Amino acid sequence: MKFGVVRFPGSCDEVDAQLACERVGDAVLLWHADRDLQGVDGVVVPGGFSYGDYLRAGAIARFAPVMESVAEFAREGGLVLGICNGFQVLCEAGLLPGALLPNETLRFVFRQVNLQVVDSGTPFTRACAPGDTLSIPTKHASGRYFSPAPVDVVLRYAPGENPNGSQDDIAGVRNEAGNVFGLMPHPEHAVDPLTGSVDGLKIFESMRASLTSRVAA
C-alpha cells in the first residue's frame, strides 16, 4: 500500500500528511514538477499555502505538472484525498464541485471542530459508522464552501461549529464517482493521542481498507 503526497512550493502540511499515511501504509512525496506518480495506490493533495495562496487559494497549484497526472489518476478511479489547500486545489481543478471562499469572518481560524459523518459509504469514511462524530482541527482562511448545484456531502460541521460560514455546514464533499474527496479540516493532525485526538486516523484507515480490498478484488 503506497500513498503519494503531493508537494507544491508553499505546501506546509505535506510531511504531516506523509506521517499520517505512514501510520497505515507507505508514503512518498510527489514533487509538483514531476508527472510520475511513482506507482502510488492513492494520492493526497495536502494542506498549506501552495504558491502562497496568491490570487485565489489553489488557483495556481492546479496547473502544476503533477496535477495532470493526478487528474488522470482520478479519471481512472484512483483515490484522491484533498485536505484544506488540497481541497481548494481539487475544486479549482474541477475534480470536485464548488469553490472555497474566504471565511465569513475574513480571518484565518484555527479550531478543533466536531464533524458529523454524513456519508460513511465512501472509500474515505468506511471506517466510520454513520452519524459518527470526529474531532479534528481546522485551520484556514478560505474554507467557506459554496456550490450553486447540489453536491454529495461527506462531512458536516456539527451544529453550531461551522467555523467559516460554509454553505449547509459542509466540511467535506466527494465527486460523483466517489473516488475523489476533499475536506477543509485536517485529519492528518488528528492521528496521535500525544498531539490531539486520533479521529483523523479513520480517514486514512478507510483509504487503506478500500485500496486493500480493491487490490484483493
Partner 1 sequence: MSAAAADERHRALGLTDGEYDRIVELLEREPGDTELAMLSLMWSEHCAYKHSKKLLRRLPTEGPAVLMGPGENAGVVDVGGGLGLAFKVESHNHPSAVEPFQGAATGVGGILRDVFAVGARPIAVLDSLRFGEVGRSARSRYLLEHAVAGIGHYGNSIGVPTVGGELYFEHSYEQNCLVNAMCLGLAPQERLIRAAAAGPGNVLVLLGALTGRDGIGGASVLASAEFGEGDADKRPTVQIGDPFAEKKLLECSLELLDRELLVSLQDLGAAGLTSSASEMASKGAVGLDIDCDRVPLREAGMEPFEIMVSESQERMLCVVAPELVGDVIAVCERWETRATPIGEVTDSGRMRIHADGEIAADLPVGILVDDCPLYDLLPEEPTGGPSAIYSAPEPSLPTGSADAVPAAGDTLLALVASANLASRLPVFEQYDPVVQSRTVRRPDEADAAVLSLPTGEAIAVAIDGNGRRVACDPRTGAAEVVYECAANLACVGGEPLGLTNCLNFGNPEKGHVAWQLTEAIEGIAAACEALSVPVVGGNVSLYNEAPGGPIYPTPVIGMVGRLPDPARTGRLAFGAADDVIAIVGAFEPSAVGSELAKLRGEPLRAPLPRLDAQAAIAAHRAVREAVRAGALSSAHDIAEGGIATALAECCVAGGIGARVEIPDGIDPFAEALGRAFVISGSAEAIAAISNDVRDAAPVTVIGRVGGSALELVGVLDVPVQALSEARAAGLAALL
Partner 2 sequence: MRVRVLVSPKQGILDPQGQAVERALPALGFEGVANVHVGRLIELDVEDPSQVPAMCDALLTNPLVEDYEIVETAPAPHPQPAAHPQHLS
Chain positions contacting partner 2, by CB under 8 A: 51-52, 54-56, 59-60, 63, 92, 98-99, 101-106, 144, 146-148, 165
Identity (one letter) of the amino acid at 211?
A: L
Residues 215 and 217: their CA atoms lie apart, in Å, by 5
> Would you count residue 75 as binding partner 1 (CB under 8 A)?
no
Selection from partner 2, partner 1, none that 196 binds (CB < 5 to 8 A by kind) is partner 1
> Would you count residue 12 as binding partner 1 (CB under 8 A)?
yes
Which grid coordinates belong to 56? Answer: 485565489
Q: Strand, helix or coil at 91?
A: helix
Q: What angle do the packed helices 14-22 and 201-216 form, to 10 degrees?
A: 60
Which grid coordinates belong to 210? Answer: 478500500
> Which residues neighbour 213 within 8 Å (Cβ) at sequence distance 6 or greater?
none
| C-beta neighbour count of 41 within 10 angstroms | 20
Least distance (Å) from partner 1 to the CB of residue 152? 29
Active site residue 188: yes
Selection from partner 1, partner 2, none that 102 binds (CB < 5 to 8 A by kind) is partner 2
Selection from partner 2, partner 1, none that 107 binds (CB < 5 to 8 A by kind) is partner 1
Active site residue 12: no
> Would you count residue 55 as binding partner 1 (CB under 8 A)?
no
Q: Strand, helix or coil at 71?
A: helix
The catalytic position among 84, 128, 140, 205 is: 84
Binding residues (CB under 8 A) for partner 1: these are: 9-13, 15-16, 19, 48-49, 51-54, 107-111, 137, 139, 141, 186, 188-189, 192, 194-196
